[in-house]
Each structure stands twice: as C-alpha cells, then as structure tokens.
C-alpha cells in the first residue's frame, strides 16, 4: 500500500511524547507512525533489549517498548528470553526468580489489560515445582491476552549446555533449570496462531514441525543467543524454520553486554513463510521491528508449494530406526 503524507503531518505526528520518551530517532518515529497509518493487516512488534540484573530497570525498558508498540498499532508484542533479568551468576539468577503469581507477571498482566495488547514474555525465570527443596527454576514462555490473563505457559524443553572452548562460550543451563515436560498447543492470538519455543529450541526442527502440525501459523523463539553462535547460526536457523514449516517466524532477542561475563548477539528478526526477512533490529541497540502478518502470504506459500501434502507418513521417516 502506497501512503502519501505531507511533511507538516509528519512533523505534527512526530511530537507524540510517548514515542519520543521511548528514545526513537526522528526518522524511526516517522517510520513507525507511517507504518501504523499504512497497515492493513494485523501488526506484531518484535522487540530487542539489553537486560541486566536490575529487574526494575528492565521492566521500565520493556514497558516503554510495549507502549511504543501499542501506539504504533501492534496488537501483539514479543519480548525476548530473560526480559525480566539476566543474572551475573547462578546464585543471583536463582535469588531473583519468582513464581507466576509474583510481582513481575502481575505487573505485565496489568499492563496488557490497560493497553489491551497481547504479550509474549519469552523466557521468564519461574521458580520450579519443588523450589523449596531443590532451588531450581523453569525457563518459561508466558502468553498474556489483552484482558490481562495468562493464557499459556511453555517451559523450555531443550536446555543450553554448551562448551565452545575455541569461541569463549561456556553455559550450562541445566545447572539451575528444570527442563519442561512437554510442548503446548499453539495459541490463537490477534496476529495468528502462535506456536511457542525458546532460544535453543530453535535448533530442533522436530519441535517446529510438531507445532505446525497442530495448526501454528507463527513460530516464536524469544532468545538470548551468544555473540559467537548468533553470528554463525541465528539468521540461517530462523529462516530454515520458516521455510520448512511455511510459517511466519518471530524471534525477539537480547543484545549487547548484560554484565561483565555475558553479551548477546541481537538481530531480533521476523521472517515470512517464504523465508524472507521482513524485520531486523540490528546488532547494537534496543528497539523493535513492526511487521505485518499477512495470512494471505502464508496461504499462497502453502498452496503453491504444498509440502504438507507431500510429506510421507511418519513410518517412512522412522524406517532407518
């Protein structure tokens, strides 16, 4: 859709205090407002931020992103893994964790209700089912609807236990995290039917295909990819998941230095069902990409190349077992 807007109109719109406080450059602000005026499909906001151990500062940053996204016309906002905080050591990570009934999720449910916007909170440090005895947590992806209700919780099933000595990557998520027991069904949202993953889950195509079989139209992988693995694999994996499932893929991301021991790659991405990158937040600063979710694009892709019809029965693929 071609939008024409006079310079005077743009300058008047650019005085919007909410967006200006959120720290947008004038060109970004203009693009956001023009996007809102031009959009004919549901809009999703895929966000990028730099979490630290300071939970209050993180909430303030997320709140600004969500308000900015809502003002730009988004009906669903996707935040990254560790949106609540990223601890500097195991003990701090555990100490700062909360239950789903705690203060952090309560504040986000109130915010979602006030703004009437859906939230994907991708990677909440949730105290585990036996917290008092084992002090272990889940890495939980929480979906909140526009009424402020928690409608789905997926607990990360694949834990990042990786030691890449030549690249300076050493993380053992299982030292303090309990793996989730199962996948959860895709959630019907204003932007489409969303299938939930988290970060390292991206490397397991079985998960994305299972969600697609259950009707997912959008796959989401909120992440905090390391710089080394992000530079090597982030975009190619996200595009592969989109192409093989013929789904939109939305992946919010952490970026930059969280503390002295950890940094993240950034490049929060949105990819269409053909594998085309339609939003990229870059690798340096926090911010967001506003993307239209055009379901006709998905339907056309699946019609023109019907891989779901060409896929053989499961026994065929298990034949070598």
Q: Does residue 199 carry a catalytic annotation? A: yes
Q: Which of 67, 70, 156, 217 is catalytic?
A: 156
Q: Does residue 5 carry a catalytic annotation? A: no
Tokens describing residue 131: 């917290």
Length of the chain: 321
Dist CA 194 CA 298 (whole Å) = 13
Sequence-ordered list of residues with C-beta below 8 angstroms from that of 232, at least 6 positions apart, any chain: none
Q: Which of 67, 70, 126, 199 is catalytic?
A: 199
Output the CA–CA distances (angstroms, integers) from residue 30 to 15, 33, 293, in the order listed.
Answer: 10, 5, 21
Q: Which of 47, 62, 67, 81 is catalytic?
A: 81
Q: Does residue 167 carry a catalytic annotation? A: no
Tokens describing residue 84: 């609540």
83, 123 in Cβ contact below 8 A? yes
242, 272 in Cβ contact below 8 A? yes
Single out the residue of 257, 265, 262 nearest to residue 227, CA to CA.
265
Tokens describing residue 70: 């809502």
For 141-145, which contacts have Cβ atoms below 8 Å and span 24 or more sequence positions? 141/196, 141/197, 141/198, 141/220, 141/222, 142/100, 142/105, 142/108, 143/118, 143/119, 143/187, 143/189, 143/194, 143/196, 144/105, 144/108, 144/109, 144/112, 144/118, 144/119, 145/112, 145/118, 145/189
Dist CA 76 CA 238 (whole Å) = 20
The two beta strands, 150-155 and 137-144, are antiparallel
Q: Is the dihedral of CA 268, 284, 105, 199 positive or negative?
A: positive
Q: Catalytic residue numbers?
A: 81, 156, 199
């Amino acid at each position: 859709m071609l939008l024409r807007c006079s310079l005077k109109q743009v300058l008047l719109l650019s005085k919007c205090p909410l967006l200006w406080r959120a720290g947008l450059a004038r060109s970004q602000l203009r693009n956001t407002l023009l996007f809102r005026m031009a959009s004919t499909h549901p809009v999703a906001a895929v966000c990028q931020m730099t979490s630290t151990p300071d939970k209050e500062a993180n909430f303030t940053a997320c709140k600004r992103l969500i308000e900015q996204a809502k003002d730009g016309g988004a009906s669903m906002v996707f935040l990254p893994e560790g949106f609540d905080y990223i601890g500097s050591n195991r003990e701090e990570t555990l100490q700062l964790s909360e239950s789903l009934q705690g203060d952090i999720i309560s504040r986000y449910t109130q915010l979602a209700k006030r703004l009437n916007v859906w939230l994907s909170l991708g990677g909440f440090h949730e105290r585990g089912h036996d917290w008092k005895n084992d002090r272990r947590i889940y890495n939980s992806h929480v979906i909140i609807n526009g009424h402020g209700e928690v409608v789905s919780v997926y607990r990360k099933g694949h834990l990042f236990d990786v030691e890449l000595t030549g690249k300076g990557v050493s993380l053992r998520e299982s030292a303090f995290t309990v793996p989730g027991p199962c996948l959860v069904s895709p959630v019907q949202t204003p932007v489409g039917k969303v299938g939930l993953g988290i970060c390292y889950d991206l490397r397991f195509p079985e998960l994305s295909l299972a969600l697609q079989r259950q009707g997912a139209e959008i796959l989401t992988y909120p992440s905090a990819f390391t710089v080394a693995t992000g530079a090597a694999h982030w975009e190619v994996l996200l595009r592969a998941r989109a192409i093989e499932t013929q789904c939109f893929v939305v992946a919010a991301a952490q970026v930059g230095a969280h503390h002295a021991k950890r940094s993240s790659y950034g490049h929060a991405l949105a990819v269409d069902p053909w594998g085309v990158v339609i939003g990229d937040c870059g690798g340096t600063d926090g911010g967001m990409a506003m993307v239209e979710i055009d379901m006709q694009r998905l339907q056309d892709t699946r019609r023109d190349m019907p891989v779901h019809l060409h896929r053989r029965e499961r026994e065929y693929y298990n034949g070598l077992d």
